[in-house]
Amino acid sequence: MDVQSELGPVCDILLAAKSVCLLTGAGISAESGIPTFRGEEGLWKTYRAEQLATFTAFIQDPKLVWEWYDWRRGIIASKEPNAGHKVLAEWEELFPHFTLITQNIDGLHQRAGSKNVIELHGNIWKNRCIDEDTIFENHDVPLKEIPPHCDKCGALLRPHVVWFGESLDGSILHKSFQLSSGCDVMFSIGTSAVVQPAASLPLSAAEAGAKVIEINPDPTPLTGSVDFSFRAKSGEFLPILDEELRRRTKQKKG
């Protein structure tokens, strides 16, 4: 899709929208230097998900799993939010009803300034007690103890993230579907759109009549069902879209 010729129609739709909803994935953090999961350089090329991202793997070898998360926490802590994260943080003020849903656990949206982020897959900066489900925020890099234990009861702590074979938090999921199926415009940004149930959010928006806009350098299973698909990096494309939106808003105000 030609970026310049499609920018106008997308801006028109956005300026008329009462509510805007976004789903982001690992691709939005790629330009910050955080590895995605799939693709040539993806984490799942080098590491086996079933050895590191399941509860069974964790119980069998908590030290190994925690070492992997400690390594990932170190990478994330050394990186900064990029221009794409920053635009989305500013959009909280631009649109009256704005919802940012992310599959990412890196916390970069919040570091860019986003205040209301729905985290579908948890957050790598939170640890959870496997006995009592108490959640502790922890920003130590590296972790002081591997594997870490609960300060209150001594049980093992696990990363507060969703692993393969686990269900997403029911209330977070319900809210996400409610918001995506009630919006006028839905974005799908930097996600391969293959992991369920997240991948169904843009489809539920489309079914309810929203315009769906995808931003991704590569096509995905969603591409054929969206209204606009921009083959672009989000850190490059979002600032261009933002500038054009603001220019038109100013023009409108006269």
217, 227, 239, 248: residue in contact with ligand OAD (rule CB under 6 A): 217
**Other Cβ atoms within 10 Å of 105 Cβ, number:** 22
3, 195, 208, 240: residue in contact with ligand OAD (rule CB under 6 A): 195
80, 218, 221, 247: residue in contact with ligand OAD (rule CB under 6 A): 218
Whichever of 40 and 253 has its CB closer to ligand OAD, that residue is: 40
User: Per the residue annotation, which of 85, 121, 139, 149 is the catalytic one?
Assistant: 121
Tokens of 80: 């900064």
Indicate whether 121 belongs to the interface with ligand OAD (CB under 6 A): yes
Among 25-33, 65-73, 148-156, 222-230, which window interacts with ligand OAD (CB under 6 A)? 25-33
Residues 48-67 that bind ligand OAD (CB under 6 A): 53
Residue nearest to ligand OAD (CB): 27
Whichever of 39 and 182 has its CB closer to ligand OAD, that residue is: 39
Indicate whether 114 belongs to the interface with ligand OAD (CB under 6 A): no
Strand partners, 19: 97
In whole angstroms, give the CA distance from residue 236 to residue 72. 25
Indicate whether 191 belongs to the interface with ligand OAD (CB under 6 A): yes
Closest distance between ligand OAD and the C-beta of residue 36, in Å? 3
10, 14, 22, 30: residue in contact with ligand OAD (rule CB under 6 A): 30
Residues 144-183 that bind ligand OAD (CB under 6 A): 162
In whole angstroms, give the CA distance from residue 39 to residue 5. 29
The three-state DSSP-derived secondary structure of the chain is CCHHHHHHHHHHHHHHCCEEEEEECHHHHHHHCCCCCCCCCCHHHHCCHHHHCCHHHHHHCHHHHHHHHHHHHHHHHCCCCCHHHHHHHHHHHHCCEEEEEECCCCCHHHHHCCCCEEECCEEEEEEEECCCCCEEECCCCCCCCCCCECCCCCCEEEEEECCCCCCCCHHHHHHHHHHHCCCCEEEEECCCCCCCCCCHHHHHHHHCCCEEEEECCCCCCCHHHCCEEECCCHHHHHHHHHHHHHHHHHHHHC
In whole angstroms, give the CA distance from residue 234 to residue 230. 9
Task: Mark whether 121 is an active-site residue.
Answer: yes
Show the site string, 65-94: x = touches ligand OAD by CB under 6 A, - = not. Answer: ------------------------------
Whichever of 24 and 99 has its CB closer to ligand OAD, that residue is: 24
Among 7-15, 59-67, 123-131, 231-239, which window interacts with ligand OAD (CB under 6 A)? 231-239
Q: What residues are labeled active site? A: 121
Q: Which residues bind ligand OAD (CB under 6 A)?
A: 25-27, 30-31, 36-39, 42, 53, 103, 121, 162, 190-192, 195, 215-218, 220, 233-235
